[in-house]
Every structure is written in structure tokens, then in C-alpha cells.
Structure 1
Amino acid sequence: MENLNIHIRPFEQNEAIPYELLLLADPSKKMVDEYINDSLIYLAINENVITGVYALLPLNNHVAEIKNIAVHNVHQGKGIGKLLLESAIQVAKEKGFESLLIGTANSSVTQLYLYQKCGFEIVEIRKNFFLDNYNEPIFENGIQCKHMIVLIKNLNAKDE
């Protein structure tokens, strides 16, 4: 395993939005543009190279949503996604949110595993979300993305 020195930091206003990464998790620039300016964006940096990103969107005073979380293809499978997820949980707690929401496709088996392992619980299935909101079919792991699986983590609960 590579020796990675990952630092996660807030996105700075003078930086270019890292669309290359954001579009890995959400292939519609139109959809990304709908939430990106209202989100808190954090970057995973390794040796001055952006390797990952997440966007945290406050939904109200009590709930935030991870709208996007992505790791560059070259750096996947190295634990960066988990570090980003843990950072998002910590930031949401620090900002005073009571719960954190995340949605992913029915085909996102690795992500579903990770989110549940980190204490997220499935609370909803948004039927046909990807069919209704994206012009082109999306396939992942040989499975068509059709439904969004919505998971939530209670941030007030003691960590297990």
C-alpha cells in the first residue's frame, strides 16, 4: 500500500471548482451546479495534488447532506474515501448539525458498504431517481443506476 500523506482542507474561493472530481460522483454538471455554490467544499490533498473532494450542503439548521464525495480514479481503494467521509461527519458535527444525509445509487455497492460501516442507516429509496434526473443511462459495477438509496447518520449518537 502506498504511503499517502493526505491532508483535508476547505476549498478556497480563488480556486477553480474541481469539476473533474465532482463529475466522477455526479456525471451531470447541471446537477452539480445546482448545489455546488451553496455547499461547503473540502479537498483531499496528497503532495500538493487534489486527490478527492466532498460537498456538504446544509438542508436546514439540523440536517446537512453530503451531495458529492469523490476520489480520483488513480487513488481509489487507498482509504481516501473513508477519510473524506470521516471529515464530512466531523465538519457536520462541528457546524452543529444533528444528522447527516447521503444518497447513492442502487449500483454503488462499495459506497453502500462504506456508508453503513461508518454508521449510516438506509432510510429511503427514491425510485427511478437516476432515470428521471439524468439524460443518459448510468452504469456502475455492471448495474444500471436507477434508484437512489438515501442513508442518514445521527450525529448526536455516541460513536460505536
Structure 2
Amino acid sequence: MIIRELKPVEKLPLSLLLEADPSEEMIRSYAAEGDVFIAEKNSCVAGVCVLLPLTDETVEIKNIAVAEPARGKGVAKALISHAVTIAGQCGFSIVEIGTGNSSLDQLALYQKCGFRMKSIDRDFFVRNYPEPIIENGIQCRDMVRLELTL
């Protein structure tokens, strides 16, 4: 597997990004402002993440998604590790990531990767998405924010 930055002439892997964020408008906005990285296996996109600077010190992993056939094979961990490495090389001291209160697997993964819970933005998904999001039988209402200090 290789992880590389998506070239400006390459098409955004929108269908994959939509698996992690149902708003095409929001995805296009932060992807245009951030850096998009793809994980490739056998010339196929296995995963994607978007790294977006927030301040001079802080960068956010804004979206991370892994294609169904590649799930459970370490692709997400590799993308997170790559994003953290890039963040450090670029001089950032904090990496943030956010996920829904109903994203139980993601909450576990991020903590296994060293992230610690920072805050909860109550009703974030209710305010920002027109349709309810249901995951693991739970309505996704709140954004759980986590951070990793480099």
C-alpha cells in the first residue's frame, strides 16, 4: 500500500468521502482548502483522508474513509499515521479529529491511535445536516472532538 497526496488534476474520490460525511457541499469546501491523501492498493483507492489547517499550531483530519473491501486491514491506521507525520513535518503541534457520538468504531480507533477526547459540540449534526444520521442504531447528534499533541 502506498499513501500519497492527490494531485490537483485528479478527481476527488467523492463517493468514498461521502461515506464519512453525507454533505457533498461540505466535503468539496474543506477538500479545496486542505490536502487530500489517498491510500492505494493495487492501483485502487483503498482509503482517503483530508488534512485541514485550523491555526498555525493545529491541523484537523477533517475526513477519513476506507473502501469496504479494505476495511479491517490497517488502512485507516496507516492514513492517520501518515497524517500525523505530515502534520509534524509541517510544524503543527496538535492534530484534531472529530466524529459523531454514534461512531463507536471510529471513537475506539482514534483513541488506539493516541488521540484523547477534547470536547463535545452538542447537536452539531442536527444543526449542520438536514436529514437525521443514524449509525449503530443511535442518532448522530453530537460531534466528539479528539486531539493528539505532537
TM-score range, shorter chain: over 0.9
**Is 1:131 the equivalent of 2:126?**
yes
- Give the deviation of 1:74 after TM superposition: 2.1
Alignment of 1:62-141 (within 5 A): 62-141=57-136
Write the deviation string for residues 50-82 of structure 1: whole angstroms up to 9, x where unpaired.
110000001111100010000012221111111
Equivalent residue, structure 2, for 1:61: 56
Structure 2: unaligned runs, 5 residues or longer: none
Structure 1: unaligned runs, 5 residues or longer: 1-5, 156-160
2:134 corresponds to which letter in structure 1?
Answer: F
Write the deviation string for residues 53-112 of structure 1: whole angstroms up to 9, x where unpaired.
000001111100010000012221111111111111111111110100100000111111
Normalised by the size of structure 1, how large is the TM-score?
0.91
Following the alignment from structure 1 to structure 2, what is the Cα–Cα distance between the partners of residues 129 and 33?
19
Following the alignment from structure 1 to structure 2, what is the Cα–Cα distance between the partners of residues 142 and 81?
23
Q: How many residues align?
A: 150
- Give the deviation of 1:119 after TM superposition: 1.0
Following the alignment from structure 1 to structure 2, what is the Cα–Cα distance between the partners of residues 33 and 17?
9
Aligned identity (percent) is 45
* Superposition misfits of 4+ residues, deviation over 3 angstroms: none
Equivalent residue, structure 1, for 2:14: 19
- Is the partner of 2:12 in helix, strand or coil? coil
Write the deviation string for residues 107-146 of structure 1: whole angstroms up to 9, x where unpaired.
1111111111111110100000011100111111111110
- Is the partner of 1:37 in helix, strand or coil? helix
Alignment of 1:34-49 (within 5 A): 34-49=29-44
Normalised by the size of structure 2, how large is the TM-score?
0.97
